[in-house]
Amino acid sequence: MPVERSLPTLRAAVQACRGCPLYEHATRAVFGEGPADAKAVFIGEIPGDLEDREGHPFVGPAGRLLDEAFAAAGIARERVYLTNAVKHFKFTQRGKRRIHDKPTRYEVIACKPWLAAELALVEPEIVVVLGATAAHAVFGTRFRITQERGKDLHTAIAPHAFATLHPAAVLRAPDELARRTSRERFFADIALVGETLRRV
């Protein structure tokens, strides 16, 4: 971690992170993006294949779904901060394709100082965890999205916190009905964030 803490210095320093083995096969570390004074921080799990190649968070299929939910909720993407609990892409190679793997608890803990530094610098009014990995990184392993989803949680990390599925989980739903239902609920969760964002 750099002595001088700012989002630009952290973004540069994270490229040299060797806190876990994920850096060995990833193209680069994908740091968070957004304004330093963002009122809301959205936290995902880990960069995907496209994010790893391009170096930006939420630019793949899950990011496009999140953008759709933002548009429906009246949230301007350029006014929020987007990041992941783990900064390097983890994958299994299948032929030419790189298939996303879930990070281990060790990998999440190894990356936690970077996420904590982002949150400390941005000081958001709202934190949104997208998926169980992000929820456990921020709120601990006992946190359950199924129990806390749809609630405006008041936490030590931010005055308002929300938990929902990762958009990739919506896309992976097993059939069309499940995808439609999951999508509708995901959009409702993001709409609640949008309503709160307009009040703070």
Residue 26 scores a pLDDT above 90: yes
Q: What's the pLDDT tens digit per position in 92-146? A: 999 999 998 999 999 999 999 999 999 999 999 999 999 999 999 999 999 999 9
* Res. 4 pLDDT band, cuts 50 70 90: confident
pLDDT of residue 116: 97
Domain chopping of the chain, boundaries: 7-199
Q: What's the pLDDT tens digit per position in 59-100? A: 999 999 999 999 999 999 999 999 999 999 999 999 999 998
- How confident is the prediction for the chain on average, in pLDDT? 96
Residue 3 scores a pLDDT above 90: no
Q: What's the pLDDT tens digit per position in 185-195? A: 999 999 999 99
Which structure tokens are listed for 87? Answer: 């900064």
Residue 180 scores a pLDDT above 90: yes
For the whole model, what pTM was predicted? 0.96
**Fold entry, domain 7-199:** Uracil-DNA Glycosylase, subunit E (3.40.470)
